[in-house]
Amino acid sequence: NDIYWLIEVSNSTLSYDLNEKARMYARHQIRDYWVIDIPGSQLWVYREPNQGMYQSVVKYATGIIMPLALPHVEVDVLRLLQ
């Protein structure tokens, strides 16, 4: 209940982070799960957990995104990936 935004930095465990961990976090109702894909230079954003799966999965390589728990905070995706 105390986790509002979870970020994984994935260098060598991307498949595990995008699959097994995503399902585990969805089961625990983590509303905002982000995976920084270092080799792929992209950000995966998982939202809307429902019945152990995320209903929304979006990849970003550029742009601005706001965490659900902190909508006044703007995160520049390119800066996050550098």
Domain ranges of the chain: 6-81
Which whole-number Å values give the CA distances from 8 to 19, 37, 58, in the listed order? 13, 9, 15
pLDDT at site 5: 95
pLDDT digit string (tens) for the chain, length 82 residues = 689 999 999 999 999 999 999 999 999 999 999 999 999 999 999 999 999 999 999 999 999 999 999 999 999 999 999 8
pLDDT at site 24: 97
pLDDT at site 82: 87
- pLDDT digit string (tens) for 44-55? 999 999 999 999
How many Å apart are CA 12 and CA 76, to the nearest integer? 23
